[in-house]
Structure 1
């Protein structure tokens, strides 16, 4: 497509088809989003309709193809701009000599005027060809737009100039036609570069086409990644980039930095799912069973979803489209009325035509058409560079107006895994002996709290390495309650909850429980002498939770934590992250969460990661899924954080505010320009060349204002 008028023409043409409910064409990304009956939305049906307008419709193109298309468009524009600039320069110079009266006689001026016309021919016939083609297509679609005005302006300037030359006058307007084409080509080129810049954000979600080692015929063979299907087994060697999603058949260390931004690699166990874009760091090769081939990987889905949702338009874009839709026909009508009106007021044919020509040129709604989509594309690109995948860029407009931010607890504000917060032990117990017994008691347990105790012991051992660790040789376990283990020394240890230890006939002294730690999960350890120690574990807040909540509160948002967890744990976490007790809501069912969310000042934003959060994500005006979110939560969210923590929420709100600010600026000034310019050009004589410069300046200002957002460095303090 050549411009936003092309997009509106395609929309208008497809809207007239039977069975079509909604059509949205996003010009910057050249994407069509259509809603209708299955029969009406077949590619073959839509493509044939679009082809009659002179456009080509195909399946959503890969990011690499989109880059190639935009590079081709850039070369196409550059060639025409070079021709326009080269010949236009001489045409303008010739006109300038006439305007300033630098020529010795009227005969020489007439010759120079003919020279100006000759130099303008390559510009008009070659450089301006895309405008005429687009104008004809939009006329066919019965949606005349800016290219119709441009074409009429160019042809009008040339025709008036030829008539004047034929009458022996050197007051020609070839420079107007040349300047109109050249300046608009400059604007189109800058706009294409901005679109290219916006697509570069998707590069982080694309992977190169490389060969992978696949198990076939009892040996590993090298195959192109595109030929690998789900269920196949591929070999990963140290340092290799994962090209496919899958599950590991052996444990290993995985660097997830490229996908999640985590600086430290993570240890994945057998059966855990890993995603394309990560890197295997293990020493020995491991085998991975493919769960999603090329086109169905998590990265592919994110990329496609982002580009599909880019075609959806927000309220500001719809407003801009409506304004541009009636502006072009209005300009044509005013131009037609200006000609006879000027004649009625006693102006000559020449001046009347010049007035009508100025109306056509100055009314071109290029800036209005570009005001919102370029800013939206730039904002989406900024979000991706900040580690936030926007599944619905139209949500940027809503995000800029958010008043309330509600946060889930487990997995969103917390890490999702417990750690030791406090412990108390029997008087006189040796610290090293306590650690040895605890290590033996948790060894081999699959309970999450036992894993947390094992991690705590591992950290302690880094500071005080064990010399002769105790080992268990017999285990009696009650799943979910506790376990008894016999050490190689013959001593029995009991590990579990207070209730379970009581049932094991173990007497717990008063100091075994600390009332101030009632919010934490308790694990008690006992030996042959009775109670030995109590460990208090909590799900710790993510590293950036407190700073992020503080920044949200300072920015004036209503911030709440809504959780299904017990009151004590929720209140404790609220204190840790800086929320007051009345802003922390505990023991809420999924339905209660959604109802509470709707009672907050709207528009609302909800951040949640679990299955129980899907209802709240749908109830909120905008939903965001953190990095560790479940598949259901990701599907229900408008955006997904690709980095750990919740600081991405703060960054996204800042980006949304900047984007909407630029959208409103662009829309206001472009609409103001067109409205005032049309009024002025009808009431007073404005030379066509001045009208050209004003129109081009308006379009270029809108484009550069959007580019300011695309090229700006991320502002951490926004």
Structure 2
């Protein structure tokens, strides 16, 4: 019953989208009427027979259409087995049992397609989240155009409480954007305009506070957005395309059950044909042999097995999509459910990805505020990202008034910067810069530096005139949610959590200790990370790697499951990762792994239920110990149980 041709249900929707379900119900209604006429009234037999025949027509309609498309190709699947069983039941006069078989089978069929549609609904809804038109600013005038007509560098006006029509950056206005349709974030995010639009970096590298995505919802303020991606290349369009490809990527269990089904169905048909002639060997009538053969046919059909894995996989993927996580197919879903080791990239994954001022330590005659003023004035004149980060943090922390007392800033490659402050020389940089400038770095200062370095800080010395007057330290700080996330991962069974970083080993060790990692490997080049992944796979068989999907592409490609964070807006991350967390939130990781484990558990339960029923029923029916009605009830009941069990994943919540 898995992977049915969906065109059947489009071309034959006589009573609308729920035609199949209505036909299954009508099959049951006429079965019940026929049973009542036969058992509780004295009406003629042809009346109950007519009711059963009508029941057959409704119950067998969709099944016959699907079977008839495959038989000419030499494909004999479960639909064929069910039609054969129902026809056989009619031949031996067991019309009620045959109608019951078709009722339960068609109901299971309808439930299966309902489960699939429900599972796809949240995914397919992505196609409807983008507006169809955009308000565009051209030649000083506003005009409404279709989103397909938008071009790169067009400026669109987004009114309050309306959907954004394209991926781009805000160039005028500030607002709060609801990004839930794309990233799954429950809380709206504050966004503001970008001041300089010349020489923009790649879309994925632009500060997220300026970036907006098609399909997200603007808040209470009007904004102007510069279009940076065409509609076909927008994040939401790429998501839709990838989700449509997900179904083709079958899980290992799914592939195994398909192989099993390919051999199993012909064997069942052969056994049933042989059982039809059992009367030639044992003392029984031809009708008894036929009855047993048909009962075995019902009992042996692997309906529940066929739907057990795809229904669970699709439900799991759909639930992930609701939370802003794209899982690319059943293989990624199943593999992730078996992971006990996770390797993490450091920068931007476990940490904020931005250096932050952590210490400002005055020495000699300088107090903290005087040192802060000196450093701010000097660093503000530098274009170096580290200098800009220090200056911004000093402004926020000390609320200093700017007086333009610094001048003549000169960057010295690999060492730091030199400038003048109140007419005197200032140096901000490493020990080598100080020594080359004839400034003494005594043991007390070196001891303070070493202490900070051991704890993962990057340290710079500040010299004024000819003396060192202070130390500054910066650090890429751990994400606020990193510690709680890693603790949660440990609780759900992740035994090894390793950080792979190009930073100094001291930096890795400090962060690992702070947030609760089991191990940190520092000083790694991209090729070293690949070797580290190889060693982890050799030790633990299957591992996941979490990164940005760009800088660590070789290592992520080698891992069993690659997980990209903040994939919204990153084409490379969406293309290369097996699992994409659309938001930049590491706290979604325990949910995804928990969901994968629940999916794996439900797949195992479904296979156990479906195979268990077949293993139990087949010997009993071959020995003639049960009738076709009991076989039908157990067999089709197991299919319905399996579908309902899979649907539980749509309500999954991590405990």
Shift of 1:652: 2.1
Residue 582 of structure 2 is aligned with which of 642, 646, 666?
642
Residue equivalent to 2:487:
550
3-state secondary structure, aligned to 1:130? helix
- Quickly say closer, same or farther: Cα 1:594–1:204, change in 2 above 3 A: farther
In the alignment, the residues of structure 1 paired with residue 252 and residue 58 of structure 2 have an alpha-carbon distance, to the nearest angstrom, of 38
- Structure 2 residue 257 is matched with structure 1 residue 320: yes
Residue equivalent to 1:367:
304
3-state secondary structure, aligned to 2:552? helix
In the alignment, the residues of structure 2 paired with residue 663 and residue 406 of structure 1 have an alpha-carbon distance, to the nearest angstrom, of 27
Q: Which moved more, 1:412-421 or 1:526-535?
A: 526-535
Unaligned runs of 5+ in 1: 8-29, 31-53, 57-65, 98-102, 162-172
**Residues 410-433 of structure 1, C-alpha deviations (whole Å, 9 max, x = no match):** 122111101122221125544444
Shift of 1:667: 1.5
Matches within 5 A, 1:159-170: 159-161=91-93
Unaligned runs of 5+ in 2: 204-210
The answer to whether the Cα contact below 8 Å between 2:24 and 2:58 also exists between their aligned partners in 1 is no
Residue 37 of structure 2 is aligned with which of 91, 94, 108?
94
Residue equivalent to 2:512:
574
Matches within 5 A, 1:10-29: none
Residue equivalent to 2:23:
80
In the alignment, the residues of structure 1 paired with residue 527 and residue 106 of structure 2 have an alpha-carbon distance, to the nearest angstrom, of 55
- Structure 2 residue 232 is matched with structure 1 residue 295: yes
Residue equivalent to 1:441:
378
Residue equivalent to 1:195:
116
Matches within 5 A, 1:419-498: 419-427=356-364, 429-443=366-380, 445-461=382-398, 465-466=399-400, 468-472=401-405, 474-478=407-411, 482-483=416-417, 494-498=427-431
Residue equivalent to 1:116:
48
Residue 659 of structure 1 is aligned with which of 588, 599, 617?
599
Matches within 5 A, 1:170-189: 173-189=94-110
In the alignment, the residues of structure 1 paired with residue 486 and residue 604 of structure 2 have an alpha-carbon distance, to the nearest angstrom, of 28
**Residues 583-621 of structure 1, C-alpha deviations (whole Å, 9 max, x = no match):** 221112222211221111211211122644111111111
In the alignment, the residues of structure 2 paired with residue 585 and residue 196 of structure 1 have an alpha-carbon distance, to the nearest angstrom, of 45
3-state secondary structure, aligned to 2:26? helix
Shift of 1:117: 0.8
In the alignment, the residues of structure 2 paired with residue 315 and residue 92 of structure 1 have an alpha-carbon distance, to the nearest angstrom, of 44
The answer to whether the Cα contact below 8 Å between 1:253 and 1:268 also exists between their aligned partners in 2 is no
Residue equivalent to 2:532:
596
In the alignment, the residues of structure 2 paired with residue 491 and residue 355 of structure 1 have an alpha-carbon distance, to the nearest angstrom, of 104
3-state secondary structure, aligned to 2:233? coil
- Structure 2 residue 8 is matched with structure 1 residue 4: no
The answer to whether the Cα contact below 8 Å between 1:426 and 1:533 also exists between their aligned partners in 2 is yes
- Structure 2 residue 238 is matched with structure 1 residue 305: no
- Quickly say closer, same or farther: Cα 1:508–1:203, change in 2 above 3 A: farther
Residue 622 of structure 2 is aligned with which of 671, 678, 682?
682
**Residues 292-315 of structure 1, C-alpha deviations (whole Å, 9 max, x = no match):** 222321222123213303211122
Shift of 1:702: 0.9
The answer to whether the Cα contact below 8 Å between 2:155 and 2:224 also exists between their aligned partners in 1 is no
Matches within 5 A, 1:250-289: 255=177, 257-258=179-180, 259-260=182-183, 261=185, 264-267=189-192, 269=194, 270=197, 271=200, 273=203, 274=211, 275-279=213-217, 285-288=223-226
Residue equivalent to 1:48:
none
Shift of 1:240: 4.7
Shift of 1:383: 2.2
Residue equivalent to 1:35:
none
Shift of 1:373: 0.4
Residue equivalent to 1:385:
322
Residue 270 of structure 2 is aligned with which of 333, 339, 357?
333
3-state secondary structure, aligned to 1:640? strand
In the alignment, the residues of structure 2 paired with residue 137 and residue 459 of structure 1 have an alpha-carbon distance, to the nearest angstrom, of 71
Residue equivalent to 1:243:
165
Residue equivalent to 1:42:
none
In the alignment, the residues of structure 1 paired with residue 494 and residue 12 of structure 2 have an alpha-carbon distance, to the nearest angstrom, of 44
In the alignment, the residues of structure 2 paired with residue 256 and residue 540 of structure 1 have an alpha-carbon distance, to the nearest angstrom, of 27
Residue equivalent to 2:206:
none
In the alignment, the residues of structure 1 paired with residue 370 and residue 218 of structure 2 have an alpha-carbon distance, to the nearest angstrom, of 38
Residue equivalent to 1:20:
none
Residue equivalent to 1:346:
283
Q: Which moved more, 1:428-437 or 1:394-403?
A: 428-437
In the alignment, the residues of structure 2 paired with residue 128 and residue 332 of structure 1 have an alpha-carbon distance, to the nearest angstrom, of 19
Aligned residue-pair number = 628
Matches within 5 A, 1:408-423: 408-423=345-360
Q: Which moved more, 1:692-701 or 1:209-218?
A: 209-218
In the alignment, the residues of structure 1 paired with residue 145 and residue 490 of structure 2 have an alpha-carbon distance, to the nearest angstrom, of 53
Shift of 1:6: 4.2
**Residues 8-33 of structure 1, C-alpha deviations (whole Å, 9 max, x = no match):** xxxxxxxxxxxxxxxxxxxxxx6xxx
- Quickly say closer, same or farther: Cα 1:525–1:276, change in 2 above 3 A: farther
In the alignment, the residues of structure 1 paired with residue 231 and residue 131 of structure 2 have an alpha-carbon distance, to the nearest angstrom, of 10
Shift of 1:4: 2.4
In the alignment, the residues of structure 2 paired with residue 507 and residue 347 of structure 1 have an alpha-carbon distance, to the nearest angstrom, of 109
3-state secondary structure, aligned to 1:565? coil
CA-atom RMSD in angstroms: 3.2
- Quickly say closer, same or farther: Cα 1:112–1:694, change in 2 above 3 A: farther
Shift of 1:128: 2.0
Q: Which moved more, 1:242-251 or 1:700-709?
A: 242-251
3-state secondary structure, aligned to 1:303? helix
**Residues 355-391 of structure 1, C-alpha deviations (whole Å, 9 max, x = no match):** 2221222222210110110111111122223332112
Shift of 1:703: 0.8
The answer to whether the Cα contact below 8 Å between 2:360 and 2:368 also exists between their aligned partners in 1 is no
Residue 608 of structure 1 is aligned with which of 521, 544, 547?
547
